[in-house]
């Protein structure tokens, strides 16, 4: 059979997607973005990864989030994306907003992780080759490095933009104090930080409690939530045991020990609140993040298109009554 050439949906910007301005910048991001952390590696069938990326683009989800070591194996999610560029997306490069990162372990030896200029610059060059790109739209320092002077890490970001290898830069998983320094350093050099990427969901409120959301807003920096479904906990995935094809069954990034009896009870109760709203638990969990205008976008992961279809439906209702919010808090903070 001859492979059909990908032809994106003509109504991709009219299918319900909305865009939010990212801090004080010219960029608007889709309320839902697609993450390549899991299910896009060389261990995963390309056809499925491609189907998910096509579904996303066909629905205006134009922001794809990657990192140097997403896979497995490390680098292979970027390679998969590189294949997608060739097969499907090259004619639409200008419509896509692609991010990658460096910060966690990527290769052995002293230059393969953290925040040195050596690591960030070398890693981005490798990422661009793997992804078949001339530039990324957004490059992140993936985590704060307490050993490297922050000036060195930030200056590497500035120079990466000046070299035309990234259009914007961001930070991820930075403590508030380091984020304050980063925002100031980058602003002074006319390369303002575009966005902060942090874990945020119904079960994990750290960006609220640690002031990250307010701080980003005050500095004109966007905020993008990763793991908004708590890696799948905040879905119907684990309401009936641990499915063999689930992330939890792999016992790596999401351990079955997370699913304590208390957690299970909370998930069942949250699912009941969602059902009363006419939503799945996944829809409600995404809507819960997006109810806050300090949040620019949520990055979802998925292992199949049907999940993305469901996640996309969250956009149909992102408002909550005071009673619903109080009930959710009561369930989570027993
Ligand atoms: N900056 C950082 O340090 C950092 C860290 C982590 C993630 N991220 C980014 O954030 C992205 C998302 O992270 P994540 O994958 O943990 O996000 P998530 O959206 O919280 O979890 C995704 C998982 O939830 C399940 N799922 C999704 N939609 C579902 C639905 N409608 N019904 C049932 N199950 C559903 C799937 O689990 P199964 O696979 O079990 O089917 C999917 O793999 C990553 O890809 C990455 O781009 C960044």
Q: What pLDDT, in 10s, does the model give residues 146-171?
A: 999 999 999 999 999 999 999 999 99
324 within some domain: no
CB 127 near ligand 1, within 6 Å: no
Distance of alpha carbon 300 from alpha carbon 305, whole angstroms: 12
Provide the number of structural domains found in the chain: 1
259 within some domain: no
Distance of alpha carbon 61 from alpha carbon 33, whole angstroms: 6
Q: What's the domain range around 167?
A: 19-235+284-318
Mean pLDDT of 161-184: 98
Q: In this structure, which residue's CA is closest to atom 45 in ligand 1?
A: 35
- Of the candidates 124, 163, 126, the one whose C-alpha atom is nearest the C-alpha of residue 141 is 124
Res 194: pLDDT: 99
260 within some domain: no
Q: What pLDDT, in 10s, does the model give residues 189-212?
A: 999 999 999 999 999 999 999 999
CB 59 near ligand 1, within 6 Å: no
278 within some domain: no
Mean pLDDT of 213-228: 98
201 within some domain: yes
Mean pLDDT of 291-313: 98
Q: Is residue 4 pLDDT above 90, yes or no?
A: no
Q: In this structure, which residue's CA is closest to atom 10 in ligand 1?
A: 226
Q: Is residue 35 pLDDT above 80, yes or no?
A: yes
Mean pLDDT of 221-225: 99
- On the 0-12 / 13-18 / 19+ scale of CB atoms within 10 A, 262 is exposed
CB 301 near ligand 1, within 6 Å: yes
Res 163: pLDDT: 98
Q: What pLDDT, in 10s, does the model give residues 224-262?
A: 999 999 999 999 999 999 999 999 999 999 999 999 999
242 within some domain: no
What's the 129 CA to ligand 1 centre distance in angstroms?
Answer: 25
Res 334: pLDDT: 84
CB 300 near ligand 1, within 6 Å: yes
Res 285: pLDDT: 98
Distance of alpha carbon 193 from alpha carbon 224, whole angstroms: 13
Q: Which mutation among 140, 232, 233, 296 tests ligand 1's pocket best, with the greatest number of atoms within 8 A of CB?
A: 232
108 within some domain: yes
- Is 273 strand, coil or helix? helix
CB 198 near ligand 1, within 6 Å: no
CB 170 near ligand 1, within 6 Å: no
CATH of residue 211: 3.20.20.100
Q: Which residues pair with 150 in a beta bridge?
A: none
Looking at every residue in the chain, the average pLDDT score rounds to 97
CB 227 near ligand 1, within 6 Å: yes
Q: Is residue 2 pLDDT above 80, yes or no?
A: no
Atom of ligand 1 minimally distant from the CA of 232: 24
Mean pLDDT of 293-313: 98
277 within some domain: no
**Residue 308 CA to its chain's centroid (Å):** 14
What's the 37 CA to ligand 1 centre distance in angstroms?
Answer: 8
Q: What pLDDT, in 10s, does the model give residues 69-115?
A: 999 999 999 999 999 999 999 999 999 999 999 999 999 999 999 99
């Amino acid at each position: 059979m001859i492979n059909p050439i990908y032809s994106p949906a003509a109504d991709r910007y009219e299918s319900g997607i909305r865009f939010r301005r990212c801090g004080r910048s010219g960029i608007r991001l889709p309320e839902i973005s697609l993450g390549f952390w899991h299910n896009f590696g060389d261990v995963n069938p390309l056809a499925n990864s491609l189907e998910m990326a096509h579904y996303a683009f066909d629905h205006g989800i134009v922001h794809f989030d990657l990192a140097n070591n997403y896979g497995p194996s490390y680098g292979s999610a970027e390679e998969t994306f590189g294949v997608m560029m060739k097969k499907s997306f090259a004619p639409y490069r200008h419509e896509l907003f692609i991010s990658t990162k460096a910060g966690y372990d990527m290769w052995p030896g002293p230059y393969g992780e953290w925040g040195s200029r050596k690591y960030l610059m070398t890693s981005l060059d490798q990422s661009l080759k793997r992804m078949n790109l001339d530039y990324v739209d957004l490059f992140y320092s993936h985590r704060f490095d307490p050993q490297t002077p922050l000036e060195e890490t930030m200056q590497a970001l500035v120079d990466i933009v000046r070299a035309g290898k990234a259009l914007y830069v961001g930070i991820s998983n930075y403590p508030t104090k380091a984020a304050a320094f980063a925002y100031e350093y980058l602003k002074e050099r006319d390369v303002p930080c575009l966005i902060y990427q942090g874990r945020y969901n119904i079960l994990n409120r750290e960006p609220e409690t640690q002031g990250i959301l307010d701080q980003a807003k005050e500095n004109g920096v966007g905020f993008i939530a990763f793991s908004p479904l708590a890696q799948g906990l905040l879905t119907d995935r684990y309401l009936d045991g641990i499915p063999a094809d689930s992330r939890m069954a792999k016992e790596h990034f999401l351990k079955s020990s997370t699913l304590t009896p208390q957690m299970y009870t909370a998930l069942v109760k949250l699912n009941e609140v969602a059902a009363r709203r006419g939503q799945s638990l996944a829809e409600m969990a995404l809507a819960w993040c997006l109810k806050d205008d300090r949040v620019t976008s949520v990055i979802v992961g998925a292992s199949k298109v049907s999940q993305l279809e469901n996640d996309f439906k969250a956009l149909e209702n992102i408002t909550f009554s005071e009673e619903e919010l109080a009930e959710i808090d009561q369930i989570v903070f027993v």
